[in-house]
């Protein structure tokens, strides 16, 4: 194993070209957990949050995912504080179209009115201190607003040079196909992990169309990691953690897969990055896939 691989393990995950022209290392980092409890307010340990972001880049991460709703805005501002001016190869992806009414899982409401999406994109530009957002994702489709108007506004922002590429989040295949009739869609971000593959049809469509698939909540070992379970046995064989195996499985599952494990601690970040160095055999991959 090369010294570079051990020092910057995320590099070993391989690369993907977003939109055909924006190269990122496939194992990224999801910044949501850096905010306060309930994804609300400032982090419990602001200094550790800064260390996590800087360490992620040191480990070879070139793709960081955030959203205006994380905090709200706290997450984007942390990224700016920690990493601006950004390295040339670092891609910061953010999202808009999801509002917050307070902390916790119940306080998320999609708002896709064109004027709101424009406002939030402009604020993200300011909070991240960039002139153009490399990847701007519609955080959720607002069922009260025609999708043509939501994607259409992002396309106008793209034409104005404020967005480089457009992505969508938590969509069906039919919604993804419709979105592509209004603009080029280079990524889709859906819930997906070893224990929950309900978005398999979306992944297969993304593979066929060379669209990046960004699985949120990529580590969900749960029952799979129980003593004597499939992840437990494989962990002992590899000297790896169940979380590392879950991420390694995602990286092996598809060349368009861009996992974004999140954490608020440097030690856990380093563990996750090590997943890129785990090489699953064909038999191990199939055994884990068949475990549920």
- CA separation (Å) from 73 to 45, 137, 248? 17, 15, 31
Residues 6+ apart with CB under 8 A from 206: 176, 188, 212, 213, 254, 256
- CA angle 128/210/130 to nearest 5° reads 10
Tokens standing for 58? Answer: 């040191």
How far apart are alpha carbons 125 and 129 in whole angstroms? 6
Tokens standing for 79? Answer: 């990224």
193 phi, psi to nearest 5 deg: -160, 180
Residues 6+ apart with CB under 8 A from 6: 277
| Cβ proximity of 91 and 22 under 8 Å | yes
Provide the edge-to-edge strand list for the sheet that holds 29-30. Answer: 29-30, 63-65, 91-96, 133-138, 163-169, 185-191, 212-216
* Angle between helix 266-273 and 46-58 (nearest 10): 20
Catalytically annotated residues: 70
């Amino acid at each position: 194993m090369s010294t570079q691989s051990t020092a910057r393990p995320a590099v070993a995950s391989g690369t993907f070209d977003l939109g055909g022209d924006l190269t990122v290392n496939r194992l990224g980092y999801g910044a949501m957990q850096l905010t306060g409890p309930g994804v609300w307010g400032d982090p419990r340990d602001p200094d550790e949050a800064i260390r996590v972001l800087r360490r992620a880049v040191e480990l070879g991460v070139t793709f960081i995912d955030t959203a205006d709703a994380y905090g709200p805005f706290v997450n984007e501002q942390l990224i700016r504080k920690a990493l601006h001016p950004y390295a040339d190869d670092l891609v910061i992806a953010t999202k808009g179209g999801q509002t917050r009414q307070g902390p916790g899982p119940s306080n998320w409401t999609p708002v896709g009115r064109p004027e709101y999406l424009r406002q939030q994109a402009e604020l993200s530009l300011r909070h991240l201190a960039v002139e153009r957002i490399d990847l701007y994702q519609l955080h959720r489709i607002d069922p009260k607003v025609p999708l043509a108007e939501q994607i259409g506004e992002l396309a106008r922002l793209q034409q104005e040079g404020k967005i480089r590429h457009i992505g969508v989040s938590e969509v069906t295949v039919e919604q993804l196909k419709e979105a592509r009739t209004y603009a080029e869609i280079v990524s889709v971000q859906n819930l997906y992990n070893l224990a929950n593959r309900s978005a398999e049809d979306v992944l297969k469509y993304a593979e066929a169309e060379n669209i990046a698939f960004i699985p949120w909540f990529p580590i969900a070992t749960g029952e799979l990691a129980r003593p004597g379970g499939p992840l437990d046995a494989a962990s002992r064989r590899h000297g790896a953690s169940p979380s590392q195996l879950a991420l390694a499985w995602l990286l092996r599952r598809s060349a368009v897969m861009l996992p974004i494990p999140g954490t608020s601690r440097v030690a856990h970040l380093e563990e996750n990055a090590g997943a890129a160095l785990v090489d699953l055999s064909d038999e191990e991959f199939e055994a884990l896939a068949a475990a549920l």
